[in-house]
Amino acid sequence: MEKLNRTKFKALVHYICQKAEDPSCLGAIKLNKVLWYSDSIFFKLHGQSITGETYVKRQFGPVPRDIVGVIDELVAEGKIARGRVDHFGHLKSEFIAIEEADVSQFTGPEIQIIDEAFEHVCINNTAKSISEETHGVIWQIAAMGEPIPLATVFASEVGEVDEDDLAWARGEVVAGA
């Protein structure tokens, strides 16, 4: 299991808040989704996450375990502001970057994935549609509050079992007997 790089995770949260020039496009749900997609897609492509953060199952999908503390730190340091607004009868958190985020610790490929995740989550989806998208097989089988290992992204697409798969499985059973 990777170890959390808290400094890098904090810089990533700050950078995502900075990208949201219109604060209405980035609430807590979408912030969590951009973080999840950034780390999980990078893991799928490169075998490691960007931050080493652990994600846990929550009502609206995978949530970074350390997100609340990191947001509190960024607010206390004056790097971001957090507000609560009425959004169709529900309170929604919004985040605004006050200072420029330090992106020097990110590689070009990391920034590319982060930017693509931001576009997908914040520009092309609503909080509801992106939450539904992250409620796949892996999220469904995890218990509420349970960590969701990033390696599960490899098992997130369930395919049909065909005759070749069955023949392989039978061979494995015979070989193991």
| Pairing state between β 80-87 and 55-58 | unpaired
* The pLDDT of residue 121: 95
Burial class of residue 35, CB neighbours in 10 A (0-12, 13-18, 19+): buried
| Residue 66 belongs to a domain | yes
Look at the chain and report how many structural domains it folds into: 1
| Residue 43 belongs to a domain | yes
Q: Which domain holds residue 170?
A: 6-176
> How far, in Å, CA of 6 to CA of 25, rounded?
25
Q: What would the pLDDT profile of 134-168 be if each residue is shown by its tens digit?
A: 777 777 888 899 999 888 887 655 566 678 766 77
* The pLDDT of residue 161: 63
How many Cβ atoms sit within 10 Å of the Cβ of residue 130?
A: 22
Q: What would the pLDDT profile of 112-121 be if each residue is shown by its tens digit?
A: 999 999 999 9
Q: What would the pLDDT profile of 40-88 be if each residue is shown by its tens digit?
A: 999 999 999 999 999 999 988 899 999 999 999 999 999 999 998 877 7
| Residue 1 belongs to a domain | no
> How far, in Å, CA of 14 to CA of 102, rounded?
8
* The pLDDT of residue 5: 95
What mean pLDDT do residues 26-32 have?
A: 94
| Residue 108 belongs to a domain | yes
* The pLDDT of residue 173: 72
| Residue 151 belongs to a domain | yes
> In a 3-state reduction of DSSP, which class is residue 91?
strand
| Residue 58 belongs to a domain | yes
